């Protein structure tokens, strides 16, 4: 099993585009779990998304 971590500060749409791009580039993976954490600080949106998968 592998994990892919996405981190983004201040731009939720950019995070969405990054995740969708990765998914489109890896159509044969099987996703087992997704965890996400969000925080707001200093007027910024902070997000981390972890995707556990097998190729």
Say if residues 51 and 34 touch (Cβ distance below 8 Å).
yes
Structural domains in the chain (count): 1
CATH at residue 49:
3.55.10.10
Q: Look up the domain containing 50 and give its range.
A: 2-54
Residue-wise pLDDT tens digits, 1-50: 999 999 999 888 999 999 999 999 999 999 999 999 988 877 788 899 99
pLDDT of residue 44: 82
Say if residues 5 and 12 touch (Cβ distance below 8 Å).
no
pLDDT of residue 42: 77
Q: Would the pTM count as exceeding 0.75?
A: yes
């Amino acid at each position: 099993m592998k994990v892919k971590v996405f981190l983004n500060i201040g731009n939720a749409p950019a995070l969405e585009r990054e995740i969708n791009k990765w998914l489109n580039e890896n159509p044969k993976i099987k996703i087992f779990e997704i965890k996400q954490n969000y925080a707001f600080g200093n007027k910024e949106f902070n997000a981390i998304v972890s995707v556990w998968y097998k190729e």
